[in-house]
Structure 1
């Protein structure tokens, strides 16, 4: 069976947990700044819970969703009572409305097809309560990477068991579509012997200034604020990420 694009499987999840055990404090503070006591909140693409768990620890009524069963296993270890659902955001149907929906860490950029992105924005808008807010971020064209002539080892870490976990990748930037292709291979090694190999078709859509704002207005968001930092400084168009605060 072919693994879906951008799917976080076993080895990818293991490396993610080692490299990103907790949320960066400035980013976490940014998303927490929109949380209000009593609001119902949702984090699509919650992964292993590095943002969702701090929300729950603070007593917020927050639920999560992710398509990676492997990532959700890690989340449930940290927060066994968490309300989480394993589902694909593209085919997910919201069962209720939310006062606050947030997608962290540039994960919206994982949806490289413009029509898929539009459907997600429309679905999220429909899931918002009348006074609700949708907050997310995307990576920008300023983060595009030079093409690689060959595979290269980009990350190498030790697992808790003492094995070597290695990530090899090969970047290719497609300027016309603004897609950064980074096919990857994860390898679990013991004294040089490969115990397990896991391919990943990783790609992200990078955004130019004004591009996402136009799409948000097209799908019906009336108020859109664009920030260039977690301190909520207005975007100037040269940042490596754009953050959006969207209301109907």
Structure 2
């Protein structure tokens, strides 16, 4: 399965995501907003349903977004019809303009478990930066790996606005050699006991060790790299934190 289909957010996944994560966490949002400047061009690849992009837009920033999921972008456009977004995959994404600030929040870069693809994305982000531009993003760490499951278990149950029950069933396996977290999932929509719709997702993430991403960034030509352990910009010294946050200049 390709990296593009591997973590694709379909209709039921998008519906649950919107219910659980409609608003960006305030500390994370404030962190990414702190780099934004009026009059500067901003890009958010993997913008999803807009929980970060829309607050930037509401504050008057010049922001452009892209995402592969038609379902996620549909949610975004319903909330912000004037948002400048493109449906595309980050691997083949091309635009003519350069950006002063590019950010990828929420560890989304970890969705790319093929390291050659990941390096290609990092290289593309560097090419899309204007002179003096800044690239800021977060990656999941090995500290955040899930416990092993023997079979599918219901981990989340929510009510949709129509009153249906939307369930997430999943299981987890961590492969030490590839540092990949395998979390195949099944989303099920019920009206009482009646199954209305089912959707599977092959969810995988690469979990990073301290120093690993820094090496990839240097390989791609980034010169100045700062690594933080949290949104207060405390310097990271190891990977014993849920996320590593990277601030990169060219």
Q: Tell me the residue number matched to 2:191.
A: 190
Structure 1 residue 192 displacement after superposition: 1.6
Number of residue pairs matched by the alignment = 248
Q: Tell me the residue number matched to 2:127.
A: 126
Q: Tell me the residue number matched to 2:25.
A: 24
Structure 1 residue 236 displacement after superposition: 2.2
Structure 1 residue 193 displacement after superposition: 1.2
Consecutive unaligned residues of structure 2, counting only runs of 5 or more, are none
1-structure distance, mates of 2:8, 2:104: 16
Cα distance per residue 1:89-143 (max 9 Å; x no partner): 0111232100000001000000000000000000000000000000000000001
Find runs of 4+ consecutive structure 1 residues off by over 3 angstroms.
Answer: none
Consecutive unaligned residues of structure 1, counting only runs of 5 or more, are none
2-structure distance, mates of 1:239, 1:138: 11
What TM-score do the two structures reach when normalised by structure 2? 0.98
2-structure distance, mates of 1:157, 1:69: 22
- Structure 1 segment 119-158 matched on structure 2, within 5 A: 119-158=120-159
- Structure 1 segment 1-248 matched on structure 2, within 5 A: 4-237=5-238, 238-248=240-250
2-structure distance, mates of 1:146, 1:5: 21
1-structure distance, mates of 2:24, 2:96: 28
1-structure distance, mates of 2:177, 2:165: 37
Structure 1 residue 203 displacement after superposition: 0.4
**SS where residue 63 of structure 2 aligns?**
strand
1-structure distance, mates of 2:96, 2:167: 40
**SS where residue 183 of structure 1 aligns?**
strand
Structure 1 residue 21 displacement after superposition: 1.1
